[in-house]
Structure 1
Amino acid sequence: MADAGNVTALFRASTAHSPSYSALNRAAADSGQPLVDFCIPCNPYFPTPEMYEELGGRLRDILTYYPSGADTIAAELSAVLGLNPQTVVMGNGSTELITWIDHLLVRDALAVPVPTFGRWTDQSMETGKRVDMYLLPEADGFVLDPSAYVDFVRARGSRTAVICNPNNPDGGLLPRRSVLALLDALQDLDLVVVDESFLEFADAGPESSVSDEAVLRPNVIVLRSLGKNFGLHGVRFGYLVANPGLAGRVRAALPKWNLNSFAETVVFMLKQHRHAYDLSLRQVRRDRQEMIWHLGRLPGLTSYPSQGNFVYVRLPDGVDGAVLRDRLLAEHGILVRECGNKIGSSSRFLRLVVRPPVDVEHLVIGLEQTLYATGDAGLLPVPYGTGHPAVDRLVMRA
């Protein structure tokens, strides 16, 4: 069993975000047990091994020389995606763009449904603005009601509104027509941001995007994350799409070399590896459905429908997510995202990243043994869920 005390301490010290993977690896270095990561939402199938080999072969030049300016890299990305480069702004991760959106375009107040990605609540609070938080109802599966949200924005007098589509952590996705109706209803606001950072993982993929509408509207920004889609969080690159005037305001504020040479190299590799990327997304979608099915068989655990590369689950009554997280880490080497530090969530919820079936099997076994074990080993009272295969197997083992 791993001594997970150092790793656990990192989670307890964190605020709205998970510790970095590097910090977690350093903390777990003495355990001798590799981490199975269900915490950080990477694409496990991209880049391909061939791409990593190609990147490794270019490593010396990547580290030695300056990258091209952001305009050159954005122009290549726009060509790959079929976008007008005047409507595209690339940033050093989507969080850099969120920061500049807040500084340049948010005046007094920002409305956002919660729970959601923590930077949308934290960033504006850090700059002294009011953040109007619309609580997504657990009873409705955290589904956003666009009409109710519009009424909330009006009642609060918010001048900026944000939605994440799919939302993080629950993976809920509004259909394109509902998002367009929301944009129509809020067309008088200073700004409406649609954060589509995880949209590539949705079953409908880019067809659900409203980026084509953003370039036609004076107050709409669509935000996209490349790191999440490509499984390259460490490269730190994302982009926004907006009409040329709005995009130009953000672009003018950014440093010329705000993107690194890794980002440039990957962007210029995309054309030849686009097919492999599309295949990776299809595999993640298949894995997500299988993972939801397996989690749904665990008694007392609720899995919510998701269109992201993660699954939001509510733990059985009486289970503390922080305790479960620590046990899974110490006894099974499994790293999960407990959501007690997310506004609008609690320690009764986990966000579990979609991973290949062999890892999901490891997760399910870990959950079974930690939640339902007989005697004092399990977190739930015994007997629990009598007649359920997961419990019966554990009782027989005991």
Structure 2
Amino acid sequence: MAGTGIDTSILHKGAHSASYFDLSRSAGEGVEIVDFCIPCNPYFPTPEMFDELSRDLRNILKYYPSDSSSITKKLCSVLGLHPQTVAMANGSTELITWIDHLLIKESVAIPIPTFGRWTDQPLETGKRVDMFPLQERDGFRLNLDDYVRFIRDRGSRVAVVCNVNNPDGCYLPRRDVIRFMDLLGDLDLVVIDESFIDFSDLEQYPSVGPDAVIRPNTVVLKSLGKNFGLHGIRFGYLMANPAIAGKIGKALPKWNLNSLAEKVVFMIQEHEEEYEDSLRLLSRDRRSMAGELARIPGLTVFPSQGNFILVKLPTEWSGVALRDYLVANHGVYTRECGNKLGMTSQFMRLVVRPGRDVDRLIDGMLDYGSQFRARPYADEAPDNLIRYPTRTEYTARRAANA
């Protein structure tokens, strides 16, 4: 496709990824940006749900929402939770901020790489952050026993685990996370961030939320925006025993949730079947997309249970250059991981999307790779170096190996 007209300098400003709005404002007329950067559920809400939201948009924008306690009670009735064990906020990042201010006093242990706010937020308030490095040779999988020993050696008073972890997509079985919480029952706090756990399909009931609310020092974090494909609404919640949940809840502003969030909470119960369908479709797409990516010569694809896939680029590729090239020439927005602690720009996190969008991503990556001499395919002699295949050659080879 022709150049998009997007000013890629936008991608080089600040520590976090540029917003979709920043990019779309700088794009040429009629350019559609395919977002492989922001980890959003592409199948939910359904078009019918968006139509329902549109019909009620005037009232949503015109009137105050209910107070947060009323919206929280409705969410709890839908999800089968006790309101005293839940605090709902304007996104999980707001909850991380309040957890840091109210519950982290001295130090916090966190495996890296992971979601950046778990390191950045306590560092900004002068806490000691004990970073436990995950190893590429292990596929960035967290060994909980090694992590517990690290916490004891450092004397960390708070421990955080993200399950599923961002950006690598590793999943920890529920029984192991429960054992981890019990081993650290003497800490000030144990946080299990389950923002992406709904996308996992390895266990029927993966969440440790019900186990957290009966323990004295455990918090489980949830992100509704990621699960429901509505990042713009900014809503999430935590589960903990009533003392912890009440302490956080009292600190939150009375009207910290907007009317759009309230509308969606009241819609969830009517669309539970569609939500479950969206998760099944996403699991299917994750397997398919991982297989497609694995066919690119020299690309390492890490197993994932999230709605994203971590890849390591061929040695001669630059993650920053590839990101800029894809958005400028193919309208494909990706996330290179050079600004994530514990990673480099050779790694890229790619959000799971439907096949037609993956075709566009693959086209762009092959187009970028065509400027390099490539490693051989596995079935070719080591000295028979080839260029990166065109999309036609890629498709033909895929069909031959099917």
1:159 & 1:329 partners in 2: Cα distance? 43
Kindly report which structure 2 residues correspond to 1:16-35, keeping only aligned pairs within 5 A, or say none. 17-28=16-27, 30=28, 32-35=30-33
Kindly report which structure 2 residues correspond to 1:1-398, keeping only aligned pairs within 5 A, or say none. 1-3=2-4, 6=7, 8-15=8-15, 17-28=16-27, 30=28, 32-204=30-202, 207-371=205-369, 373=370, 378=371, 380-382=372-374, 384-385=376-377, 391-393=388-390
Q: Which runs of 5+ in 2 are unaligned?
A: 381-385, 395-402
Deviations along 1:179-225, one digit per CA (max 9) or x if unpaired, are 11111111110000000000110004661110011010010000000
Deviations along 1:347-395, one digit per CA (max 9) or x if unpaired, are 0000000000111111112211211x2xxxx2x3257548689945479
Q: 1:109 to 1:53 in 2, by over 3 A?
A: same
1:259 & 1:326 partners in 2: Cα distance? 35
2:390 & 2:339 partners in 1: Cα distance? 34
Q: Which runs of 5+ in 1 are unaligned?
A: none
Instruction: Indicate the SS of the match to 1:112.
Output: strand
- Cα distance, 1:9 vs structure 2: 1.4
TM-score, normalised to structure 1, is 0.94
Q: 1:206 to 1:116 in 2, by over 3 A?
A: farther
Deviations along 1:278-336, one digit per CA (max 9) or x if unpaired, are 10111001100110111111111011110100000000112110011111112211111
1:253 & 1:195 partners in 2: Cα distance? 20
Instruction: Indicate the SS of the match to 1:90.
Output: strand
1:331 & 1:289 partners in 2: Cα distance? 27
TM-score, normalised to structure 2, is 0.93
Deviations along 1:246-303, one digit per CA (max 9) or x if unpaired, are 1000001011100000000000011111110110111001100110111111111011
Contact 2:11 2:324 in 1 (8 A): no
Q: 1:383 to 1:255 in 2, by over 3 A?
A: closer
Instruction: Indicate the SS of the match to 2:41.
Output: coil
Instruction: For 1:105, give the aligned amino acid.
Output: L
Instruction: Indicate the SS of the match to 2:156.
Output: coil
Instruction: For 1:13, give the aligned amino acid.
Output: K
Deviations along 1:4-32, one digit per CA (max 9) or x if unpaired, are 552x21221121x211111121122x364
Q: 1:139 to 1:383 in 2, by over 3 A?
A: closer
Q: 1:119 to 1:206 in 2, by over 3 A?
A: farther
Instruction: For 2:18, give the aligned amino acid.
Output: P
Q: Is the deviation greater in 204-213 or in 220-229?
A: 204-213
Contact 2:6 2:23 in 1 (8 A): no
Identity of aligned residues (%): 56
Contact 2:10 2:23 in 1 (8 A): yes
Instruction: Indicate the SS of the match to 1:208.
Output: coil
Deviations along 1:37-78, one digit per CA (max 9) or x if unpaired, are 101111111111111111111111111111001111111111
Instruction: Indicate the SS of the match to 1:317.
Output: coil
Contact 1:214 1:220 in 2 (8 A): yes
